[in-house]
Structure 1
Amino acid sequence: MTDRPRNTGLRRGLRLILLLQIAIAGMMLVIDIPAQLPPGLFDRERLPTGPISPGDQTRRYDPQRSPSDFMDRTSPADIALPDQFADRLQFELRETEGMGNLLLLTGAIAPGDADRMAEELDSLIEPPDGIALHSPGGTVSEARAIGRIIRDRGFPTLVLAGASCMSSCPYVFAAGAERTASRQGAIGMHQHYYDQSRFIPAVFAVSDIQRGQGETLEYLIDMGIDPAVMIYSLKTPPERIYVLVEDELLETGLATNVID
C-alpha cells in the first residue's frame, strides 16, 4: 500500500517531464519555421529589384539561384557559368583571355570542401594563375579554411563579369594575394548561422554566434581586410543580401582591383 502513492507520483512526474519536452520541441519548431520556408515569405517590406546602385544595394536573396539580375551587365560574361548552384563546390579549369588559366569554383560551400580543394590543387600538373569564384556561400568555417589554403599558396582571387560571390563566399575572395572584382559581377554579404543547427533557435546559441563572429573578424584582419566590412554583414538579415559597390570594395580592401 505504501508504494502506490510513490509510484503514482513518479508516473505523474515523468508525464510532466514528457509533456514539457514535447512543448519545448514544439516551441523550437515553431520558432524555426521561418528559417525553413522560402526566402522573403514573411518579409513584407517591398525591396527593389534589378541591378544595384549606390544607396540601393539590398535585395531579397535566394541561395539556389544565380542573382544575375543584381548586376548591371553591358557585356557577355567572362566565362560560362551555371544558372543553378550545385550543393557543394565544383572545380573546373578555365582558360581565359588575358587572365590565364583559372580554377573556377562554383556551387555552395559545404563541409569538407577545403580538403577537396587542397586535393584538387595537388592533382594539377601546374598551379592555376588564379581562383575565380561563383558561389552563393555556405558554411562560414569552411569558407575561411578554403581562404587560408588560397593565401598560403599565394593565389589571386577573381569575381568576374556575370559571377556572384555571396554570403560566406566573400571570405574566400578576401584571401587572394590580389583580389579582382568586376563591376559586372556581384559580391554580397549578410548575417550568418555560424554552423549552428537550424533546429536550434539563435536565442539558445548566442555564445556560438559570438565566437563565430570573433573568428571571422580575426580571419579578416589576418587577410589584411578592414574588419569594418563586417558591418554590411551584421546589418543585413539572412533572407536579404547587401551587394557592395566599388567604393566599399576598395575602401575596405576586400578588392584590390575593380575592372569592367
Structure 2
Amino acid sequence: MKIEAAGEHIKRRLLATDDSTLPRLVLHALIAAAVAFLVIDFRDLSIANATLPVFDPAAPDSVPVLPPALTDGEPENPPAEITTSAELLKQPMTFELQPGGILLARGAIEYGAAGRFQKEIEARGEYVKTVSLDSPGGAVGDALAMSKLIRERKIGTTVAKGALCASSCPIILSGGVSRSADDGAVIGVHQVFNGTKEKLSPERAMSDAQRTTADVTRHLDAMGIKPGLWIHAMETPPDRLYYLKPAEMKEFALVTTPEKVSAAAAKVK
C-alpha cells in the first residue's frame, strides 16, 4: 500500500535525523498517521474501545500484565525473567523509600498515581535521589506528570534486574536526569489506547490517540529521547510489546551515559 510505503519513508527519515530537524519531521509523521487513520474503515477502530491492559485490580484476569512480544509468528517470551509477581504488578502503584535515596515505585500507574507520587516527593523529596521503576504501565497522563516532576526535581531513574517497565512506564523513566537499566531489566513499549471503560466514538478515539501521541512525542523530545523509541511504540499494537534491547536503550538515549547527565539536567527550566 502507498500509505505503508510513506510510513516507512518517514520512519527512516526520523531515525536518521538530527535533533535540529526533529520537530518538523515529527509533525510530518503525525500528519501521516492522521491520513492513515482516515482511510481505515471505522469498524477497524474497535480496538480503541476493547478491554485492553487497563490494570484494573477489580478485573485482574482481563489481560496479562506482560503481553507477548510483537512477532510475525508465535508470541515470544520477554528477554529476561520478571521476578515481581503479576498480582503485585497489577495493584495500584506503591512507593517505598529504600536505603541510598532510592524510591521504589512498583505497580500499575492508575488514574491519580501522579498526585500520590507528588505528595510522596513533597514529603520525602530531600531524601530521594533515584526512582526505581517496576511497573506494567497504565495511565499515560499520570506517567507524563510523574516524568515531568522527576525532571523538575533533578532526580534519576532506573529499572533494576528482574523489574519491568512497560507501556507508559518508559515515559516516567525518560524524566530522570540520569537513566539506567540493569542487566536483566525488561523494558517494553506499545501504542497508546483507551484505558477507560468509556465507549468512545471512532472520531473521539482517533482524536484522543493523536493528541496523546503528540503530547508524548513532545515530552520525549524535551527529555532528550531519540525518535526511534516512540516510533517502535507507535508500530506495536496495544496487546503486544516491543522489548527494547540494551543497545537500543543506548541508541535512543533512554539510558544515559555519564557525559550526558549534565546536559540533561541543563534542559530543566
TM-score normalised by the chain length of structure 1: 0.68
**CA distance 1:130–1:199, change in 2 (3 Å):** same
Query: Quick one: structure 1 residues 197 and 81, their matched pair in 2 at CA, closer, same or farther if it must change by over 3 Å?
Result: closer
Of structures 1 and 2, the larger Rg is shown by 1
1:127-138 to 2 correspondences below 5 Å: 127-138=127-138
Cα pair 2:49 2:200 within 8 Å, conserved: no
Distance (Å, rounded) in 2 between the aligned partners of 1:125 and 1:230: 30
Which amino acid is the alignment partner of residue 114 of structure 1?
Answer: A
Answer yes or no: is the 8 Å Cα contact 2:104–2:133 preserved in 1. yes
Which residue is equivalent to 2:26? none
In 2, are the aligned partners of 1:131 and 1:155 still within 8 Å (CA)? yes
Kindly report structure 1 stretches of 4+ aligned residues shifted beyond 6 Å.
none
2:178 — aligned with what?
178
Counterpart contact for 2:84–2:163, Cα < 8 Å: yes
Q: Is the 8 A contact 2:180 2:255 kept in 1?
A: yes
Equivalent residue letter for 1:176: G
Residue identity opposite 2:93 in structure 1: L
User: Mapping of 1:214-225 within 5 angstroms?
Assistant: 214-225=214-225
Counterpart CA distance in 2 for 1:44 and 1:174 is 26
1:24-45 CA-to-partner distances (Å, cap 9, x unmatched) read xxx99x94698236468xx996
Residue 92 of structure 2: aligned partner: 88
Q: Encode CA deviations 1:199-256: one digit per residue, 9 max, x unaligned.
A: 2254542122111111111101111111231111011101100110012111111111
Matched to 1:92, the amino acid is: E
The letter of the residue matching 2:215 is E
Counterpart contact for 1:140–1:194, Cα < 8 Å: no
1:141–1:194: 8 Å Cα contact kept in structure 2?
A: no
CA distance in structure 2 between the aligned counterparts of 1:112 and 1:34, rounded to whole angstroms: 21
More strand by share: 1
Match of 1:150 in 2: 150
Change beyond 3 A, Cα 1:242–1:92: same
Indicate conservation of the 8 Å contact 2:90/2:136, yes or no.
no
User: Whose helix proportion is higher, 1 or 2?
Assistant: 2
**1:1-260 alignment to 2 at 5 Å?**
31=46, 35-36=50-51, 38=63, 46-50=73-77, 70-72=78-80, 81-84=84-87, 85-95=89-99, 100-124=100-124, 126-193=126-193, 198-200=198-200, 202=202, 204-257=204-257
User: Shift in Å at residue 87 of structure 1?
Assistant: 3.3
CA contact (8 A) 1:32 1:201 kept: no
Other structure's SS at 1:240 match: coil
Q: CA deviation at 1:136?
A: 0.5
Larger mean Cα displacement after TM superposition, 136-145 or 204-213: 204-213
How many equivalent residue pairs? 202
- Structure 1 letter corresponding to 2:91: D
Q: Which amino acid aligns with 1:35?
A: A
Q: CA RMSD in A?
A: 3.2
Does structure 1 conserve the Cα–Cα contact (< 8 Å) formed by 2:170 and 2:189? yes
TM (normalized to structure 2)? 0.66
- Any idea what SS the aligned residue of 1:157 has? strand
Is contact 1:163–1:186 with CA below 8 Å preserved after alignment?
yes
Asked whether the 8 Å contact 1:226–1:253 carries over to 2, the reply is yes
Percentage identity across aligned positions?
A: 32
